[in-house]
Copies of this chain bind each other. A is one copy, B any other.
Amino acid sequence: RVSRSAVVNAATQQSPAGLGFNSHKPVSDVPDSLCRPDDGNADTQMRQKFERMCRAAQNKICAAIEEIDGTKFREDAWTRDGGGGGITRVLAGGNVFEKAGCSLSVVYGSMPAEALASATERGADRAKGIKPGERVPFFACGLSSVMHPRNPMAPTMHFNYRYFETDGGVWWFGGGTDITPAYLFEEDMRHFHGTYKEVCDKHDPDFYRKFKQWADEYFMIKHRGETRGLGGIFFDDLNDRPAEDIFKFSTECANAVVDAYVPIVAKRKDMEFTDEQKRWQQLRRGRYVEFNLVYDRGTIFGLKTGGRIESILMSLPETTRFEYDHHPVAGTPEAKIMDCFKKPRTWV
């Protein structure tokens, strides 16, 4: 494991992945694939396939968000020296959304064995056979998104689906979708979790129970002993069955985002709310920032590998509050949802 302060060399603006933070070239015409052209052969076909899946999901999800918001996403695409690139879409100052981002990235890099280990949940296995100090060339492709609505009754949603492959042929999938309301509407949580349970159940009767628990553990703000939100599903290092099966599962998870989330936003976006309720939402968004900057594996991985900073940090909410020693008053809706953050519940 490496410390976060050790991962980036400020003087040279170089990350241990050998890529610089300044190595992103904006492009106006996005190439059909951001993968290297020789990644289409039998051994590496999952690379292009996963990218195609992510791009289709990005189009579908952004179209649904644009429709409900009435505002268009801004798009920034870039390529990188050495292969790879990305497409970031951000909708800021929308009618429904304060800030919504959805970003595709394709990364070719190399990491010290220790960094590879810390990039995954059970990382030791992934770096097996690699000597300490040795660099491991890798490929990574992922689609990441965070949507922060204006209305405090409408929850924030995050998802990420990703595929990793080292040049040594070790591969795994990771991902998940999770929801972060400021106020609890049990029917919304049943809908959200129920949608993902249905997707999970089609693939493995154990997936939902396992990945729901994983989300509750992963999205824990450890220094506060409370979760960021009300969970969903989360998995990492998944390679215990044929890649094709996990690819199908990931695809269906990504495609379930619209059904799981947009009906909830539609139901909550025009509800009345007070300044006090907006303030509570912003306080919870402060906690969102605490989680993302201190614990989130994707954020840390992005900083470690010289990712495009604006794309990594698009996840941060537009407005937040940090108040000293804030505690909701017992018996209020704020206290009710705080109980759920302190002790994760079962929704379906």
A321 B319 Cβ-Cβ under 8 A: yes
B223 A316 Cβ-Cβ under 8 A: no
How many Å from the CB of A96 to the closest CB on chain B? 17
Contacts of A310 in B (CB 8 A): 324-325
Confirm or deny: A220 has a beta carbon within 8 angstroms of a beta carbon on chain B. yes
Contacts of A4 in B (CB 8 A): 3-4, 294-295
* Segment of A137-145, A241-249, A285-293, A331-339 in the binding face: A285-293
Confirm or deny: A157 has a beta carbon within 8 angstroms of a beta carbon on chain B. no
Confirm or deny: A5 has a beta carbon within 8 angstroms of a beta carbon on chain B. yes
Contacts of A324 in B (CB 8 A): 74, 90, 92, 99, 101, 310, 314
A13–B274 CA distance with the chains assembled, in angstroms: 35
Contacts of A312 in B (CB 8 A): 223
A3 B5 Cβ-Cβ under 8 A: no
A294 B303 Cβ-Cβ under 8 A: yes
Contact A325/B76 with A223-B21, A309-B224 known, Cβ cut-off 8 Å: yes
How many Å from the CB of A80 to the closest CB on chain B? 16
Confirm or deny: A206 has a beta carbon within 8 angstroms of a beta carbon on chain B. no
Confirm or deny: A2 has a beta carbon within 8 angstroms of a beta carbon on chain B. yes
CB-nearest residue of chain B to A313: B322
Contacts of A5 in B (CB 8 A): 118, 222, 295
How many Å from the CB of A158 to the closest CB on chain B? 15
Contact A318/B323 with A3-B118, A225-B13 known, Cβ cut-off 8 Å: yes
Task: Give the residues from 207 to 240 in chain A that come closer than 8 angstroms, CB to CB, to chain B.
Answer: 217, 220, 222-225
Contact A320/B323 with A3-B2, A224-B309 known, Cβ cut-off 8 Å: no
Per-position contact with B for A1-43: 1 when CB-CB < 8 Å, else 0?
Answer: 1111110111001000000010000000000000000000000
A289 B295 Cβ-Cβ under 8 A: no
Task: Give the residues from 115 to 131 in chain A that come closer than 8 angstroms, CB to CB, to chain B.
Answer: 118
Contacts of A9 in B (CB 8 A): 222
Confirm or deny: A86 has a beta carbon within 8 angstroms of a beta carbon on chain B. no
Contacts of A6 in B (CB 8 A): 1
A295–B323 CA distance with the chains assembled, in angstroms: 21
Confirm or deny: A317 has a beta carbon within 8 angstroms of a beta carbon on chain B. yes
A284–B313 CA distance with the chains assembled, in angstroms: 14
A74–B323 CA distance with the chains assembled, in angstroms: 13
Q: Which of B220, B222, B316 contacts A322 (CB 8 A)?
A: B316
Contacts of A282 in B (CB 8 A): 319
Q: Which of B13, B76, B290, B321 contacts A313 (CB 8 A)?
A: B290
CB-nearest residue of chain B to A15: B223
A220 B10 Cβ-Cβ under 8 A: yes
CB-nearest residue of chain B to A217: B10
For the complex with contacts A223-B309, A320-B322, 12 further pairs of A-B residues with Cβ separation under 8 Å are: A3-B118, A5-B295, A10-B220, A13-B225, A90-B325, A224-B309, A282-B319, A293-B293, A294-B294, A314-B324, A318-B322, A319-B321
* A residues at B contact (CB < 8 Å): 1-6, 8-10, 13, 21, 74, 76, 90, 92, 99, 101, 118, 217, 220, 222-225, 282, 286, 289-290, 293-295, 303, 309-310, 312-314, 316-325
CB-defined A-B contacts under 8 Å, sample of 10: A1-B3, A4-B295, A90-B324, A90-B325, A92-B324, A286-B316, A289-B320, A289-B322, A314-B324, A317-B322
